[in-house]
Structure 1
Amino acid sequence: MTERDYSLADVVALLVESGDSGPASHRYSDDIPMPSVETLSEIVEDLRTVLFPGYYGPSEITPDTMPYYIGSTLDRVERHLSDQIRRGYCFVCEKTNTETCHDCDARAKEMARKFIRKLPKIREDLLGDVEAAYDGDPAAKTHGETIFCYPSIRALTNHRIAHELYRLGVDIIPRIIGEMAHSDTGIDIHPGATIGKNFFMDHGTGTVVGETCIIGDNVRVYQGVTLGAKSFPKGEDERLIKGLPRHPVVEDDVIIYAGATILGRITIGKGAVIGGNVWITRDVPAGAQIVQSRAMHQSFIDGGGI
């Protein structure tokens, strides 16, 4: 039978049968729902309004109404986040074929409450990022402009939320939140990456920060910078070994210009400046300046130099 001869019933039967190839093809959920991207998006936007009230959410919020608004919003966030965390646990349990846990509800509620307690720290870190964006970009007229307009602050809001959930051991939810920012801004930061205070990604598009990357304080990067892995070791089963430190360590006060590619578990020393479009796979000492080799320019007359 050729493809042209398939009836609708044939196509349905073939797609159902292909589920035998494993969970990458079909997911048998029974009564366990998947995490909801739509609900997680609402949670992140609610958190954005709590972290930057007035800029996001109701614009008419006042000092008198702010406690009520933040309180009611966080009550809703905690309940919805707890449900999504529970779904994430079930998603991973099914994926790894472990026994169904009996305390997922209690663990999910505990993780949601622990996360809520992290919000003051997240806000403190984000305010440092806003200050870095304002100080680092002469085009920024106000701090509010960087909050409302800059993709760096939007991506970092998602990342600092996702990173705290990642540190709490929450399954899959941090990755979804990180990928939301990736889709919105073109900035790809793995939730496992550790980022210090006052971080600024100028323009930001195409910036990639890997899972085990560690970034210090007062670091500034420009568009198209990659902080990635150089190689991926395999185990005896020929599968990639996961979780190894494989991304760069960027120390305090480093500047990395557009298009630079920095790969492997190397250290970029404090105060170093990395020029645009360079490729680095070795340690860079503190205070160093790494730039492209200058092209030699020569002119010839009447065929001279041939």
Structure 2
Amino acid sequence: MAPKIQPQTTIDTIADICNHIQISQSSRHDKVPAIVNRLLNSWSTKECYEHISPVSIPSHDKIIEIVQQARRILFPGYFTRTRLHAANLEYYIGKETTDLYEKVGEQIVIAIRHDCRRNNLPCTRCEERSQELTLAFIESLPDVTATLATDIRAAIEGDPATDSPDEVIFSYPGLLAISIFRLAHELFRLKVPIVPRIMTEYAHSLTGIDIHPGATIGEGFFIDHGTGVVIGETTVIGNNVRLYQGVTLGALSLPRDAGTKLRHQKRHPTIEDDVIIYANTTILGGDTVIGRGSVIGGNIWLTESVEAGTRVMLKRPELIYANGRAR
């Protein structure tokens, strides 16, 4: 039996099967150049922001690498692939610290140079200054390590859910945020531009804990659970202070031009030694002082100071149940 001959496919048949021709005809690529011109015009008016400059801007990714490497130094053996022991510890820490010095120095000089260019400053000896600031930062690491040890002990003493420093170091978002803050604070104190804020916002993205690098925080600081904690730039916190989730240490309502008028002024509260602040409490204002040893209960709103040893609690609310009875 002779094979059946298929009919020849015609151009009209192809057009019916494939809509490529129609799709190509509907392309709007020709409209893109006009949009590009509008983008260029928007940047030229200076109403929008750009960084079109031969001067580099600090690298977000490299600053995160610095944070991770610094944590390997601060907590040797916890975040490393190398098994550490007495024979190789000095070599390992020496290599990591030297490498950290190089990375930090590179980002600091870029940050200074960018700041000069952005603000049209006279020469600030960026190369020389970066070496001085980098060394000062590296010199601060032993003190940061010692302070973090007090934070770990505070977590163990304040949280009955753990008795393990390993668990705190590996698992607690509060300690992660605090450790990154303490690194960033040293750079902030040295007046390094941009880099400290990138560090703490990285911690914020990981933990939900927002600590400005300019805040001053004493030893033995413990944030339990942590999500939603906000600590503003000019906050001063003493030793052995404990916060729970949702606590805000913030500023009072600010005017529209607050960025200019109130910059470098104290806008956030002072929390003295041995204070406990429970969940979802808000304390506002640069003149607000929470006295030593005070306990501030949950869901409190405070804009005024309290004396040392004060307990501030909400009156027990009336609960309304589904059956309509009040209890």
2:217 is equivalent to residue 195 of structure 1: yes
Match of 2:280? 259
Counterpart position of 1:21: 45
How many Å separate the matches in 2 of 1:116 and 1:259?
36
Structure 1: gaps (5+ residues)? none
Deviations 1:191-215 (A, max 9, x none): 0000000000000000000000000
TM-score by length of 2: 0.85
Look up the match of 1:227.
249
User: Residue type matched to 1:195 in 2?
Assistant: I
- How big is the shift at 1:54? 0.8
Matches within 5 A, 1:62-77: 62-77=85-100
Q: Hey, what's the Cα distance between the residues in 2 that align with 1:46 and 1:284? A: 41
Identity %: 44
RMSD: 2.1
Matched, 1:112 2:134: yes
> Among 46, 50, 53, which residue is 2:73 paired with?
50
From 30, 33, 37, the counterpart of 2:60: 37
Name the counterpart of 1:132. 154
Q: Which residue of 1 aligns with 2:199?
A: 177
Amino acid at match of 2:116: C
For residue 27 of structure 1, report the CA deviation from its aligned partner.
1.6
- What CA deviation, in whole Å up to 9, does each residue of 1:122-165 have, x standing for no partner? 00000000001111111113111100110011101110000011
Instruction: Determine helix, strand or coil for the equivalent of 1:118.
Output: helix
- Where structure 2 has 5 or more consecutive residues not aligned to the other structure, the ranges are 1-27
TM-score for the superposition, normalised by structure 1? 0.91
Measured in 1, the distance between the counterparts of 2:141 and 2:252 equals 34
Distance 2:231 2:318 in 1: 34
- Decide which moves more: 202-211 or 15-24: 15-24
Q: For 1:238 and 1:38, locate their aligned partners in 2 and report how far apart those are by CA, in whole Å.
A: 28
Give deviations 1:98-120, integer Å, cap 9, x for gaps: 23x25101100110011100000
* Partner residue of 1:246 out of 251, 262, 267: 267
SS of the residue aligned with 1:7?
helix
- Contact 1:206–1:224 (CA under 8 A) maintained in structure 2: yes
Q: Which amino acid aligns with 1:183?
A: S
Distance 1:204 1:96, change over 3 A: same
2:31 corresponds to which residue?
7
Higher alpha-carbon deviation: 50-59 or 89-98: 89-98
What letter corresponds to residue 234 of structure 2 in structure 1?
Answer: T
Q: Which shows bigger deviation, 146-155 or 9-18?
A: 9-18
Alignment of 1:278-289 (within 5 A): 278-289=300-311
Q: Whole-Å Cα distance in 2 between the matches of residues 239 and 162 of structure 1? A: 24
> Bigger radius of gyration, 1 or 2?
2
CA distance in 2, matches of 1:102, 1:155: 32
Measured after TM superposition, the shift of residue 45 of structure 1 is 0.6
Task: State the one-letter code of the partner of 1:271.
Answer: G
Aligned residues of 2:248 and 2:282 also touching (Cα < 8 A) = yes
2:110 to 87, 98, 101: 87
